[in-house]
Amino acid sequence: MSNDIKPRIELKGITKAFPGVLANDAVSFKVEPGEIHALLGENGAGKSTLVKMIYGIMQPDAGEIVWDGEPVMVANPKAARKMGVGMVFQHFSLFEAMTVLENIALGMDGSISQSKLEEKIRDVLHTYDLKLDPHRIVSTLSVGERQRIEIVRALLLEPRLLIMDEPTSVLTPQEVGQLFETLRRLSKTGCSILYISHKLHEIRDLCEAATILRGGKVVGECDPRKETPKSMAEMMIGGNLKQISKAASREFGDDRFIADGLTIAGEGDFGVALDDICLAVRAGEIFGIAGVAGNGQNELLLALSGEQPSSPADAIRLDSHAIAAMDAVGRRSLGLCAVPEERNGHGAVVDFSLTDNTILTARDRMELASNGIVHGGAATAFAGKIIDDFAVMTTGPGSLAGSLSGGNLQKFIMGREILQNPEVLIVSQPTWGVDAGAAAAIHQALVDLAENGSAILVISQDLDELLALCDRLAVINEGRLSKTLNVGEATIDEIGLLMGGVHGDPFATAEMTEAVHAH
């Protein structure tokens, strides 16, 4: 690259401290025009704080941001957008009662008529082959579809730097491929992309440079195309990455958790109905549910966890108990724990302390309250054990849940349920937004729990995760469940076809798999 082309953005000695933590310690790196540059690091390494300063959400305590060769002070996000910085956040800022179009309109800095805005949105959707209905109400959308709103909102700015924070954590392999095509097309127009992800095989496929943070400091740079996911993970954690340790010949007990003919009508215009769901999870088994976002995964979790009771009572059974008509509290009393997909507001209350968040689901099983009286010492001790056992980066049990990075909050919520040693554990997206080291620790904790006799049901859009973790799996599509597959015998093609809606006749599936290979 010739010397007269200046970096799109350069950070020089950026430092940011919060009470009790130095989030960024003299961070320096640069991103060239049209470069797809990865920012790597464990949860709490300082990545999100850094990009929030680039986007003007907070100001550095020291250091300098240089944009196209000129020092700048990014006063606020509006100023960042005016410069040409777009950002897609890990946690979406959307109003659920409004339409896609209304939400995008709220994010626009200038005034524009709705018809003109809709035209521009449809242009972006067409240009980048993104599927989204501008008139859908956000509350009816899957997490994957909600993320698309944020991407469209950013692309409407025609950004010169696009920051993406965990953009693929809820996408299917096909959607990831589409997103990467979008990003490669963008980079060819000269737009730089700063890309944060814990999916290191994706970093290797997409990015041409990477800066690695650990404990708020830059500890290295690399060309991801010349690295392996394992070598990058070990640079991030500063040590060896542990592999999942699974007993070679695992013994399974009797069916412990059964759904038999579970059928529930979809809520509202866009809710997904569950149609004759049948599955059985044995004691000691990890059973996976694969599928494209928005095919009934959330409805399945609500039905199985008790947040949405159903009938007849024996459509769901835990050991000898018919539990379909029970609420979540009743099911928890029998030993069923659950982790929902959405951590903010559903898995945890962000304005509560970590201690208070343990009481929400563990008060009875861990004896954190009795007769309406909370045992503060016991709750604090349990929160402390979760923090220690799951390496949650926080200042302590008194910290607000909302003060944790997304990955650290995920570790805390997973730890809170796993450490209750449930008879049955139902988990949706167990490692959403967590780094490679933390994902390995969560996977190992699930394997250990299963080996102690628990029945575990994992709902995930990460096929690699399901294939590494599960003993058997099924695919959910439009609220229906496929036949059960043994993980050792299932092919990616076969699972992909089932995700696209090929159900029923195994011979038909085999023929379509052959057709895929033929192409």
Closest among 481, 457, 491, 460 to 471, alpha carbons compared: 457
Domain over 9-237 is classified CATH 3.20.20.70: no
Q: Measured between alpha carbons, how far is residue 143 from residues 62, 168, 341, 349 in Å?
A: 36, 11, 9, 19
Task: For residues 27 and 15, give the distance between their C-alpha atoms in angstroms, rounded to a whole number.
Answer: 7
Sheet order of strands, 274-282 included = 274-282, 255-264, 316-318, 321-322
Question: Which residue type is seen at 326?
Answer: M
Lowest average pLDDT, out of 103-107, 389-393, 500-504, goes to: 500-504
Among 307, 390, 386, 391, smallest CA distance to 353 is for 386
Higher pLDDT, 308 or 435: 308
Indicate if the pLDDT at residue 516 is higher than 60: no
CA–CA distance, 356 with 368 (Å, rounded to integer): 10
* Six-digit token string for 385: 């054990």
Q: How far is CA 183 from the centre of its chain?
A: 20
Q: To the nearest whole percent, how much of the chain has pLDDT over 90? A: 61
Q: CA 416, CA 403: separation in Å to the nearest integer? A: 17
Q: Tell me which amino acid residue 341 is.
A: E
Residue 132 has pLDDT above 50, yes or no: yes
| Residue 136: pLDDT over 90 | yes
Angle of helix 229-237 relative to helix 436-451, nearest 10 degrees, comes to: 100
The CA distances from residue 476 to 274, 278, 287, in Å, are: 10, 11, 13
3-state secondary structure of 29: strand
Cβ atoms of residues 251 and 284 within 8 Å? yes
Least confident segment among 19-28, 182-191, 358-367, 493-502? 493-502
CATH number belonging to the domain at 255-518, selected among 3.40.50.720, 3.90.930.12, 3.40.30.10, 3.40.50.300: 3.40.50.300
Q: Over the chain, what is the mean pLDDT?
A: 88
Give the pair of three-digit tokens for residue 200. Answer: 């290191």
| Residue 169: predicted pLDDT | 64
For residues 141 and 379, give the distance between their C-alpha atoms in angstroms, rounded to a whole number. Answer: 36
pLDDT of residue 513: 39
Instruction: Name the least confident of 73-77, 232-236, 483-487.
Output: 232-236
Q: What is the pLDDT of residues 264-294, one digit of tens each?
A: 988 766 678 899 999 999 999 999 999 877 7
487 neighbors 473 (Cβ within 8 angstroms)? yes
Token pair, residue 392, equals: 């949650």
Predicted pLDDT at 518: 41
Which pLDDT band, with edges at 50, 70 and 90, does 2 fall under? very low
pLDDT in tens, 342-401: 888 899 999 999 999 999 999 999 999 998 899 999 999 999 999 999 999 899 999 999
pLDDT at position 143 over 90:
no
R_g (Cα) of the chain, nearest Å: 23
What is the domain partition of the chain in residue ranges? 9-237, 255-518
Among 122, 124, 102, 123, which Cα is nearest to 112's? 102
Tell me if 9-237 shares its fold with 255-518.
Answer: yes
pLDDT interval class at 322 (50, 70, 90)? very high
DSSP conformational letter for 374? E
Mean per-residue pLDDT, 156-182: 81
Which of 192-196, 456-460, 487-491 comes out lowest in average pLDDT? 487-491
Position 3 pLDDT exceeds 70:
no
Handedness of CA 274, 275, 281, 285 (dihedral sign): negative
Confidence grade of residue 170 (pLDDT, cut at 50, 70, 90): low
- Here the tokens at position 145 are 């579809």
For the cut 80, the answer to whether the pLDDT of residue 182 exceeds it is yes
Angstrom distance (rounded) from CA 38 to CA 53: 17
| Distance from C-alpha of 237 to C-alpha of 45, rounded to nearest angstrom | 10
Look at residues 360, 362, 352, 348 and name the one whose alpha carbon lies nearest to residue 399: 352
Strands 255-264 and 316-318: antiparallel
Top pLDDT among 384 and 94 is at: 384
Query: 7: cis peptide before it, omega within 30°?
Result: no
Residues 6+ apart with CB under 8 A from 509: 494, 497, 498, 502
